[in-house]
Structure formats: C-alpha cells, structure tokens
Amino acid sequence: MPDLPKRTLGRTGLEVTALGYGAMELRGGPRGRQISEEEAGRILNAVLDSGINFIDTSIDYGMAEERIGRHIAHRRDEYYLASKCACLVGPAADEERPPGQRGGRHVYTRENVIAGVEQSLRRMNTDHLDLVQVHGSPSKQELEDGGVVEAMLDLKAEGKVRFIGMSSTGSNLRDHIAMGVFDEFQIPYSCLQRGHEDAIAEAAAAGAGVVVRGGAARGAPSDDERNRARGAEAAGIWEKADLDGLLGGMSRMEFVVRFTATHPDASTNIVGTLNPEHLAENIEAVSHGPLPPDLYAAAKHRLKAAGSQPE
Ligand SMILES: NC(=O)c1ccc[n+]([C@@H]2O[C@H](COP(=O)([O-])OP(=O)(O)OC[C@H]3O[C@@H](n4cnc5c(N)ncnc54)[C@H](OP(=O)(O)O)[C@@H]3O)[C@@H](O)[C@H]2O)c1
C-alpha cells in the first residue's frame, strides 16, 4: 500500500492524511445501501490498514456511528474522529423515528448539541471526539439564538471534544469564517463543483483547517454504472470540459481525486466508499501527489468554460 501524504489541519495542528474516510455510506436503512456487519467491519478496518487516519461521520448517518463503535473502537488511537452536532438524537434508524424527526432535521440548541455529542461518544465507544462540526450550515443568528458555540466550547473544556468546526456552505460560510471561533470547516468541493474554491482559501487564510467533502464527485465520472447514473449533471460537466483529453494515462477518478488534493488549502478529502477496490484506487491516486501545475491550469481553464468555477 503506498504511503499517504499528511497535511496539517489548520490551527488544530492535527496531521491528517490527505485522503480521509467519509462514513455516510455505512448508514444502511431506507436511504442507504444494505451491507452486512461483516462488510462494514471489513471496509472500516481496510481504511485503517491503508493508513487513513481521519474518519468523518454524523449522528445523521443511520448505522454509521454504531458501526464505527462496533468495528474499530479498539483501534481508536489510529484515527482522528470527527462527527457532527445539532442533529436530532434518538434512534439511529430513520424508520424507527416519529415522522417529524426523519431525514436529517437539525435543532440548534445548547441542549441538543450536548445530548448529540454524548450520544456519539456512547455509540462510538470513545471518551472524546477529535472534532465536532455543526451540521447543516445554519445562519450566524441561529447559532447565537441557541447558544450553540458556547455549548461546543463547554464540551471542549470538559475534554469531550478537542476542536470545533462547521459543515458550511453557500453564503453562510463567509459569516462562519468571520465569527473566528471555528477550528475547521467541512466544505463541498471537486473539479466538477468548484463554487467554494475561493472560500476554501479564505477559511485557511483565517487559520482554520479545511476538510473537503464530495471531493470524489461521488464517482460520477467513473466507469462504475451506479455512481455514473447518480451524477448525471457532474458527468455532463466532465464531458463538456473534455477532461478526457487531459488525462494522459490517468484514470478519470485519479484525475478527480488529485484535482481536489491539488487545492493548496484542502487538508483532507473524506471520500466515502463501500468498495475496497475504489478505496485502493483513491489511495493510489492521492499518493501520486498534486497534479502538475500546467495540467491543473489547463483543467481549470476548460472547467470554467464548461461552467465549473469559483463563485
Ligand atoms: N456535512 C454534510 O452535510 C455532508 C453531506 C454529505 C456528505 N458528507 C460527508 O462527506 C463524505 C463524502 O461525501 P459524498 O458521498 O458526498 O462524496 P464523495 O466522497 O465524492 O463520493 C462518495 C461516492 O463516490 C463513490 N466512489 C468513491 N470512490 C470511487 C472510485 N474510485 N470510483 C468510483 N466511485 C467511487 C462511492 O461509491 P462506492 O461505494 O461504489 O465506491 C460513493 O458513492 C460522506 O461520507 C460524509 O462523511 C457530509
């Protein structure tokens, strides 16, 4: 297995592998893919065996937290663990919740934030999260009204979380950066979705670490039929930009994953996968390092013409 490069996650100082693991695919239930406990255990252990040291999850990802607790809690010193808060606490399975509490609703109150972190600690069989991120990118006003940041800082003072972050998007992101309290931002970004490219640089300039999500473009440009079918719009940008003409022997997914890793301020890219071959492919890609500067510039030029550019 090739060595994964590591990068510093902003002011947290955590040295994270440039490829992380997004555990959303482990959610199961009506919205996720059905896998056995054995398969869940196999992929989580393969992630750690490959050297990945950063795992992102959420209360909202169905069975994911319980599966992390069940299958890799005994290897807790091998990974940084990030989860989310302000998601509703209660049964992990959506179908076991009352109708008004399904589908990732968020409640931005001190009580719910604290109850959520305590539930995550129990489910993942650990005494601390390395990072807790507010889920759902609420407005600054919502955060202030509910005392969310104070609750997170209290959890930090108690040692239940080491750093606090925000899963942020759109116009709220710049407000969140200006608040100056978040150690990290989780931001969607890929070559086919470059809207937050400049905001990532702004977050890093303010000292925060940046975790990219969506940085494999959900596999849309790949040969994998399921993932191609789910990402028709992204695949359309790929075709329009004629990125095949720039590959020079790389696979499409190597290009996508390396493009994300070439952003100088993206500390890690939490790609989710249930497929050990995809995991190996992504590790190999990231181990090849950033794209060469001339190729990166040419790709950005073509992507802009195809409609994927910073906003
Ligand atoms: N904060 C938020 O609101 C939020 C929202 C969404 C996601 N997230 C986090 O971000 C993580 C990743 O997000 P994402 O799922 O949106 O984006 P992603 O990482 O770009 O895509 C994951 C998808 O890509 C496929 N894939 C991965 N590697 C591949 C490869 N080499 N070839 C072909 N297909 C490949 C996977 O399918 P296979 O299983 O078939 O490989 C999976 O369906 C999640 O797990 C979660 O932790 C956060």
List phi, psi (to 5°) of 184: -155, 150
pLDDT value of residue 103: 65
Which residue owns the Cα nearest ligand 1 atom 1? Answer: 167
Question: Average pLDDT in the 114-132 region?
Answer: 98
Per-residue pLDDT tens digits for 2-33 = 789 999 999 999 999 999 999 999 999 888 99
Q: What are the residue boundaries of the structural domains of the chain, listed by start?
A: 6-217+268-289
Residue 218: pLDDT over 90: yes
pLDDT value of residue 196: 97
Centroid of ligand 1 to alpha carbon of 215 (angstroms):
8
Q: Regarding beta strands 19-22 and 54-56, do their DSSP bridges make them parallel or antiparallel, or are they unpaired?
A: parallel
Of all residues in the chain, what percent carry a pLDDT higher than 70? Answer: 97
CA torsion sign for 137, 308, 281, 263 is negative
Q: Which residues contact 122 (CB under 8 A, 6 or more apart)?
A: none
pLDDT value of residue 114: 98
Residue 97: pLDDT over 90: no
Which residue owns the Cα nearest ligand 1 atom 37? Answer: 273
Centroid of ligand 1 to alpha carbon of 141 (angstroms):
30
Centroid of ligand 1 to alpha carbon of 186 (angstroms):
14
Confidence (pTM): 0.96
* Low-confidence winner among 27-41, 218-232, 293-307 (lowest mean pLDDT): 218-232
Which residue owns the Cα nearest ligand 1 atom 13? Answer: 214
Question: Average pLDDT in the 182-209 region?
Answer: 98
* Alpha-carbon torsion, ordered 157, 11, 4, 81, to 10 deg: 20
Alpha-carbon gap, residue 13 to 15, rounded angstroms: 6
Ligand 1: which atom is nearest the Cα of residue 278?
A: 31
Mean pLDDT of the chain: 95
Domain 6-217+268-289 part of CATH 3.20.20.100: yes
- Nearest residue to 164 (alpha-carbon basis) of 282, 84, 65: 84
Per-residue pLDDT tens digits for 154-181 = 999 999 999 999 999 999 999 999 999 9
Place of tokens 């993942």: 124
**C-alpha dist (Å) from residue 185 to 196, 210, 238:** 12, 5, 27
Q: Which residues line ligand 1 (CB under 6 A)?
A: 22-25, 56, 167, 186, 213-219, 222, 224, 227, 253, 270-275, 278, 281-282
